[in-house]
Structure 1
Amino acid sequence: MEALKDLAGKVTGDENSPGIFNSAAPTGERAGKGEFPKPGDFVVESQVDRVVGIQADMEKKPESVTAVQGDEDFTKYKAAGLMIGKKTIVTGGDSGIGRAAAVHFAKEGADVAIVYLPEEQVDADKTKQLIEKAGRQCLLFPQDIRDEAGCNRVIESVVKAWGRIDVLVNNASVMYDQKSITDITTEQFKRTMETNIYGTFFLTRAAVPHIPKGGSIIITASQGEFSFGPPSLLDYSMTKGAQVSMVRCLSNQLIGQGIRVNAVCPGPVWTPLQPAAMDKETMKTWHNTPAPIGRIGQPSELGPAYVFLASEQMGSFISGQSIHVNGGAIVSG
């Protein structure tokens, strides 16, 4: 084991720490050079008093984060025209990973419809601004995806406007940190299940008849269902496991129609989902337990994974799979 620790330390470039076996983020001179942000560089904040986190209200990320992963306007991304003319939908596209997917699609030439909660309008407006800056159309749908009829209306509206749906990204989810199963109220459990599972199912069922051959369905799952069971995210993790099963079954169901179905499984990524789910003490712990790469990920690092799976040029032979964008955590499945 000591030999493994020494090897891990060498891989991470840290001669004085056991690499991935050390749960603390890099500190000291290495972090100070702008390579990785120190845990203390992040403002410990929380939005647990809200139904959903708002990115516009999050504290500014430390400069060392944007220096490594790119700014929140995704200006460092170099597009290659991989999705010119595609018509896409991204749920939870107002902020975080959903915004990253939506804006990267637009930069690659796609028009994007985003679905979000009415409370997230300020974030949705920002995403629309970024999509239109890329020269593409953006449709806004303030719709709670727990509402089956509302999901049907979204799909009908997009098809009426654009005639088809080339890519559907089921990204919207809710997450609540609870230490014990006895702390999970029936209300919370119902909201988590209905948002993460029902909403994903409703939108996908309505969209499939309008997805042509070569189309793509992508679900945002989680690394937790492959590497470990997060003890304080019980109901959330249950839904993510269900989503992975949906990807595998639906892929087998739709592969004959030329529609590919895959999942992106993020590791720890700094989005409004975290401050909405965790109190300040939990957030402090989260910032101090980064991915093996030595830091928390940023949404800009997830966007290209969605482009990869959505693009026919890049992902034409991939279906039923889970892509792990998790900062180096080794998983199976």
Structure 2
Amino acid sequence: MEEQPDHGEDSYRGHGRLDGKVALVTGGDSGIGRAVALAFAREGADLVICYLESDEDDAQVTAGLVRDAGRTITLVPTDLTIEENCRAMVDRTVAEHGRIDVLVNNAAYQLAQPGGIADITTEQFDRTMRTNLYATFWLCKMSLPHMPAGSSIINTSSVQASSPSPELLDYATTKAGIATFTRALAWSAASQGVRVNSVAPGPTWTPLVRATMPEEMVEGFGENTPMGRAGQPVEVAGAFVYLASKESAYVTGEVLAVTGGLPVIA
């Protein structure tokens, strides 16, 4: 990317808010996922991250940042659209750490189609649903039995959930589903002391933008926000830290918008 995203490499300072925690972060190789992994590590958490095999080089960069913060990280290249891969990742996390304190469902797939629904194939729709919605469902279901009271699940929604773009119809549909799924799961998970929340980013400068959007959409990306620019991954990571920490001990079923001022309907 011409303009490199800011993950907090030179700016994020931890304050011990996640000391000794074990965090499982999907899509932790780049973008918001890398920023979250870095912030969690500097707050004292050990990490397990997953990513596609094709993103190994990016994952190694994230691993270096986590290790430089003095924390451990386990790298799991895998395809979350397959249920058994999700189970294997949870099993590996529990085998290595004995529990999961924080689950961050951040991995996502999108492919903008300027022609809207006419250009979205069944194969694309299925991949988007399985990556964004199915994997979130599987990982929450499989992780909950290993999450002690006080743990936190954080699902990544989007401003697209309430202000959808026609060219991102399938992606926006999954992000609205994630917001509703989060609110519903929060009710049942509360009985075991686990909080379930969501972060809804607005336009954020990540490799996903450059890789999946046509040039005309990339130009001026984020200028439609009241702040007049796209956000940086580090500016979103703090919301995940808050929802993972004791500072949000009385917060569950919430969708926290980090959008530069774009409204997200609660």
Cα distance in 1 for residues equivalent to 2:11 and 2:217:
32
Amino acid at match of 1:217: I
Secondary structure of 1:85's partner? coil
Q: Please give the root-mean-square deviation of Cα atoms over the aligned residues, in Å.
A: 1.3
Number of the residue aligned with 1:11: none
Residues 196, 84 of structure 1: alpha-carbon distance in 2 compared, 3 angstrom cutoff = same
Amino acid at match of 1:229: P
Cα distance in 1 for residues equivalent to 2:112 and 2:261:
24
Number of the residue aligned with 1:322: 255
Cα distance in 1 for residues equivalent to 2:126 and 2:264:
29
Q: Deviations over 1:176-201 (max 9, x none)?
A: 11122010011111110111111111
- 1:178-193 to structure 2, matched below 5 A, reads 178-179=113-114, 180-193=116-129
Amino acid at match of 2:80: I
Deviation at 1:217, TM superposition (A): 0.3
Deviation at 1:328, TM superposition (A): 1.3
Can you give the 5+ residue segments of structure 2 that lack an aligned partner in the other structure? none
Equivalences, count: 265
Number of the residue aligned with 2:64: 129
1:209 aligns with 2:152: no
Deviation at 1:285, TM superposition (A): 4.4
Normalised to the residue count of structure 1, the TM-score between the two structures is 0.77
Cα distance in 1 for residues equivalent to 2:161 and 2:108:
15
Any conservation in 2 of the 1:214–1:258 contact (CA below 8 Å)?
A: yes
Aligned equivalent of 1:293, options 227, 231, 248: 227
Can you give the 5+ residue segments of structure 1 that lack an aligned partner in the other structure? 1-57
Amino acid at match of 1:203: L
Any conservation in 2 of the 1:268–1:290 contact (CA below 8 Å)?
A: no
Cα distance in 1 for residues equivalent to 2:136 and 2:24:
12
Normalised to the residue count of structure 2, the TM-score between the two structures is 0.96
Cα distance in 1 for residues equivalent to 2:157 and 2:98:
28
Deviation at 1:274, TM superposition (A): 0.8
Deviation at 1:230, TM superposition (A): 1.2
1:111 aligns with 2:38: no
Deviation at 1:286, TM superposition (A): 2.6
Cα distance in 2 for residues equivalent to 1:144 and 1:332:
31
Number of the residue aligned with 1:55: none
Residues 73, 267 of structure 1: alpha-carbon distance in 2 compared, 3 angstrom cutoff = closer
Percent of residue pairs bearing the same amino acid type: 45
Asked which structure has the greater CA Rg, the reply is 1
Q: Deviations over 1:46-78 (max 9, x none)?
A: xxxxxxxxxxxx2234xxxx8xxxx44522122
- 1:66-145 to structure 2, matched below 5 A, reads 71-145=6-80
Cα distance in 1 for residues equivalent to 2:129 and 2:263:
28
Number of the residue aligned with 2:211: 276
Deviation at 1:114, TM superposition (A): 0.4
Number of the residue aligned with 1:43: none
Number of the residue aligned with 1:170: 105
Deviation at 1:330, TM superposition (A): 3.0
Any conservation in 2 of the 1:89–1:114 contact (CA below 8 Å)?
A: yes
Amino acid at match of 2:259: N
Any conservation in 2 of the 1:73–1:130 contact (CA below 8 Å)?
A: no
Any conservation in 2 of the 1:103–1:127 contact (CA below 8 Å)?
A: yes
Residues 317, 73 of structure 1: alpha-carbon distance in 2 compared, 3 angstrom cutoff = closer
Any conservation in 1 of the 2:17–2:245 contact (CA below 8 Å)?
A: yes
Secondary structure of 1:99's partner? helix
Number of the residue aligned with 2:265: 332
